[in-house]
Amino acid sequence: MVGLNMGAQEIVPGIHWTGVNDYTNDLFEGIWPIPHGVSINSYVVKGDKIALIDLVKAGGGGSSENLIDQLGSIGIKMKDIDYLVINHLEPDHTGFLNHIRELCPNAEILSSEKGVPLVEAFYGMKEGVRAVKDGEKLDLGNGKQLAFYYAPNVHWPETMVTYEESSGVLFPCDAFGSFGAFKGYIFDDQITPEDHEFFERETLRYYANIVATFSNSVIKAIEKLGALDIKVIAPSHGLIWRENPGEIIKRYQRYASYMSEEAEPEITVIWGTMYGNTETIMRAVLRGIAQEGIPVKIHKVPETDASWVLASAWQSAGLVIAMPTYEYNIFPPMDYILNLMKLKHYWHKKVLRIGSFGWVGGAQKHFNNRIERMNWECIGPLEYQGAPTAEDLALAEKKGRELAMAVKKIPSKR
Ligand code: FEO
């Protein structure tokens, strides 16, 4: 079935998906729009003993009734659960932990050493909570054995991943995840090419919004997990990769590399205008870029939400930041974007900043302060008072082409 009532789905014998589809049109983390929803994936592993791995939040489709129904359909009662494995404490995966604990009071809660204090901080629980060590194994009997590996800062410090050794199923929590709810399937081999494109876009957006800051930790985690024979990747958001788990690993490796190296040979143009004068010169820049045949993505702010702007900019080696001075400072919607880029380590970009001012400038000075320590290689700036002259427009076209030529030399990682 599609949607909130999707039943338990077998991944391999003895391991089932028991998650939810959040179609509430909520904001993920209270910031990022999810117009296509998001899945919050939970799993149950059944040996002689039973472990629930990665829980869900209450609301947005998550409820104890839903979980009880899903487990009941595969012959498991809540009181039968022996372990609650909490890979990561963020409340989208733990939101109704208190209620679940009431339903299975004898279940032991397992988390990392840094996770245990957070179980108390968020949910007031100390009893029946145990820290597992990095590399520790847990024999569930009947051939099922879990192994726990710490993956700090992917994307909170307490994060760990769980690996079921007999089946090669990896439960990496937020790593390898994406936005986008399921449409009646859960596996990578069940969906159309169009849905693969959809999930690729939503994976990039999820990465750029949620994970980007921690790209070095992603690379370390992928190296650490390289020793495992991973046959299935079962993240806490998005598709379960059983046919081609290497694809999502490669995708995450590539996204992570964009923090410490130049990204793809393409340009993201981010622009905002008050009365059209910045728009006029932005179009001249576009003419210059077009002469070099470089792919361009254009986002107007504040009309386009930062979530999509960030996704595009993360993947682009080149940026055009086109905005006017506003009250001696940066046009506020652009300041929001620049602030997020700084927070999320949007480093190593080639950048052209253009824009108009009325009485006096000011945006450029604050822009220079804002981008300190981001390793941006700036071409320009190009500022002008009032409306651009013919000379300004010719110069803008030239600088657009200059930026495109610099970006064109960068090899693609795709
Ligand atoms: Fe899906 Fe970091 O929580």
Which pLDDT score, from 0 to 100, does residue 2 have?
37
**Domain shared by 254 and 269, yes or no:** no
How far apart, in whole angstroms, are the C-alpha atoms of residue 365 and residue 357? 13
What average pLDDT does range 324-343 have in this prediction? 97
CA of 313 to the centre of ligand 1 (A): 22
**Residues 227, 321 share a domain:** no
Within a 10 A sphere around the Cβ of 311, how many other Cβ atoms? Answer: 25
pLDDT of 3 > 80? The answer is no
Q: What is the pTM of this model?
A: 0.95
Whole-number Å distance between alpha carbons of 414 and 403:
21
Q: What is the pLDDT of residues 209-252, one digit of tens each?
A: 999 999 999 999 999 999 999 999 999 999 999 999 999 999 99
Say if residue 255 is in the same domain as residue 268: no
| Gap between the Cα atoms of 23 and 4, Å rounded | 8
Residue 414 in any domain: the answer is no
Domain end among 224, 259, 294: 259
- 231 and 281 fall within a common domain: no
pLDDT tens for each residue of 123-144: 999 999 999 999 999 999 999 9
Q: Ligand 1 centre and the CA of 286: distance in Å?
A: 38
Does the structure show a pLDDT above 90 at 97? yes
What CATH number has the domain bearing residue 316?
3.40.50.360
Q: Is 264 in the pocket of ligand 1 (CB under 6 A)?
A: no
State whether 340 and 376 are in the same domain: yes
Residue whose CA is closest, atom 3 of ligand 1?
A: 90
Both 171 and 35 in one domain: the answer is yes
Tell me what the pLDDT averaged over the chain comes to.
Answer: 95
Looking at the CA of residue 40, tell me the nearest atom of ligand 1: 1
Q: Could you tell me if residue 124 is inside a domain?
A: yes
What pLDDT score was predicted for residue 1?
34
Q: Where are the beta strands (DSSP E) in 98-181?
A: 108-111, 129-131, 137-141, 144-150, 160-164, 169-171
Q: Is 49 in the pocket of ligand 1 (CB under 6 A)?
A: no
**243 Cα: distance to centroid of ligand 1 (angstroms):** 24
